[in-house]
């Protein structure tokens, strides 16, 4: 007896399950690849953003006697040369028409704002001026925002008296000043970082910004500057090696492995003084680019940055000492 058309076109339950299993397997294979491709695209955008900043800093330096910026973007009289709408690298770029930092955010970073824009930080004691939340939001709309972290080098170059333990590392009074071409004569500009993806702590309530009613993690404003050690200076004290722990990862294919800072990013990018951008991997998955420590948690001397290899300078700029 001949089969009916309906009987010939039907699928058995086993056949349906096999098809579903194959589709699920294909999705499982394709999703990581698609995620990796999307992340690679974001990383390319981030690298392009950093290079655009490099062009902006060089253009600023041409107009300002070789200086890359006017200092830290910090709304405090003992930390910068003026209010954040007038002074600091972000204001330099916006007001000079070089770039708009708020339009060039790191696309992979968990942070979308600078910690400087948290209202309690913005209007902390000794502020150049007090901003209302509406004024702060207007600044953000105009591009006065960033989720990149400035290097201490770029803002301060060097401690004025390297053997003074009382030096205030963030007060322009105690530092040489913003980075300029003439301070780079003894180092390779390919190794001196200006900006980088931030160490972002998505789990810290004190580092969240409230913007239009919603909380967001923020990017570190600037790296912590030089640290001291027994390097043979007078009295055995000298500010020498840079603490770059506030640089951190912003990219990386989804790993499902979250670090202590509440995200699973694994790759970060830095902009260097010659204008190129480079990528670095957070090999120990601690969410930051920190120096090597011993079993007691103390920094190992001589200092070593495992995540950077030998591609980043972290010594004293004016004499090139590591």
Preceding amide of 302 cis, omega within 30: yes
Both tokens of 314, joined, read 């972290």
- What average pLDDT does the segment 92-109 reach? 97
Model confidence band, residue 151 (pLDDT cutoffs 50, 70, 90): very high
Q: Give me the DSSP letters along 217-265.
A: EEE-SB--EEEEE-SS-GGG-EEEEEE-TTB---B----S---TTS---
Q: Would the pLDDT of 30 be above 80?
A: no
Identify the band that residue 5 occupies on the pLDDT scale cut at 50, 70 and 90. Answer: very low
Q: Which two tokens stand for residue 310?
A: 């030998």
Q: Look at residue 23 and give its three-state secondary structure.
A: helix
> What is the predicted pLDDT for the residue at 267?
92
> Beta partners for 209?
216
User: Which of 73, 72, 74, 76 is closest to 127 using CA atoms?
Assistant: 76
Kindly tell me the burial class for residue 25, based on how many C-beta atoms sit within 10 Å of its own C-beta (0-12, 13-18, 19 or more).
Answer: exposed
Q: Which residues sit opposite 215 in a β-bridge?
A: 210
Range 205-220 average pLDDT: 93
Q: Is the confidence at residue 125, as pLDDT, over 70?
A: yes
Mean model confidence pLDDT for the chain: 89
222 has a pLDDT exceeding 90:
yes
State the pLDDT at residue 117: 98
Which one has a higher pLDDT value, 165 or 120?
Answer: 120
Alpha helix ranges (H) inside 84-178: 89-96, 119-122, 133-141, 152-156
As given in the structure block, the two tokens for residue 144 are: 């006065």
Tell me whether residue 20 is exposed, middle or buried, using C-beta atoms within 10 angstroms of its C-beta: 0 to 12, 13 to 18, 19 or more: exposed
More confident residue, 138 or 22: 138
């Amino acid at each position: 007896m001949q089969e009916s058309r309906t009987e010939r076109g039907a699928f058995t339950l086993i056949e349906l399950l096999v098809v579903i299993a194959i589709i699920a397997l294909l999705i499982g294979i394709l999703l990581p690849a698609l995620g990796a491709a999307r992340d690679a695209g974001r990383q390319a955008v981030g690298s392009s953003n950093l290079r655009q900043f490099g062009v902006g800093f060089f253009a600023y330096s041409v107009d300002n006697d070789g200086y890359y910026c006017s200092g830290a973007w910090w709304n405090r009289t003992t930390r910068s040369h003026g209010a954040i709408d007038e002074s600091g690298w972000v204001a330099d770029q916006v007001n000079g028409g070089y770039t708009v930092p708020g339009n060039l955010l790191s696309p992979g970073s968990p942070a979308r704002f600078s910690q400087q824009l948290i209202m309690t930080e913005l209007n902390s004691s000794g502020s150049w001026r007090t901003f209302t939340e509406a004024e702060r939001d207007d600044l953000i709309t105009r591009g006065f925002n960033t989720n990149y972290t400035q290097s201490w080098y770029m803002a301060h170059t060097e401690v004025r008296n390297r053997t003074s333990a009382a030096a205030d590392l963030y007060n322009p009074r105690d530092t040489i000043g913003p980075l300029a071409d003439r301070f780079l004569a003894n180092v390779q500009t390919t190794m001196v970082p200006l900006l980088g993806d931030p160490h972002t702590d998505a789990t810290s309530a004190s580092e969240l910004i409230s913007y239009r009613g919603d909380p967001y993690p923020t990017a570190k404003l600037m790296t912590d500057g030089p640290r001291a050690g027994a390097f043979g200076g007078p009295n055995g004290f000298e500010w020498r090696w840079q603490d770059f722990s506030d640089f951190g990862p912003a990219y990386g294919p989804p790993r499902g492995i979250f670090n202590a800072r509440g995200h699973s990013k694994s790759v970060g990018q830095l902009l260097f003084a010659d204008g190129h951008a480079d990528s670095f991997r957070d090999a120990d998955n601690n969410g930051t680019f920190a120096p090597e420590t011993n079993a007691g948690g103390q920094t190992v001397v001589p200092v070593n940055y495992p995540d950077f290899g030998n591609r980043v300078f972290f010594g004293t700029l004016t004499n090139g000492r590591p």
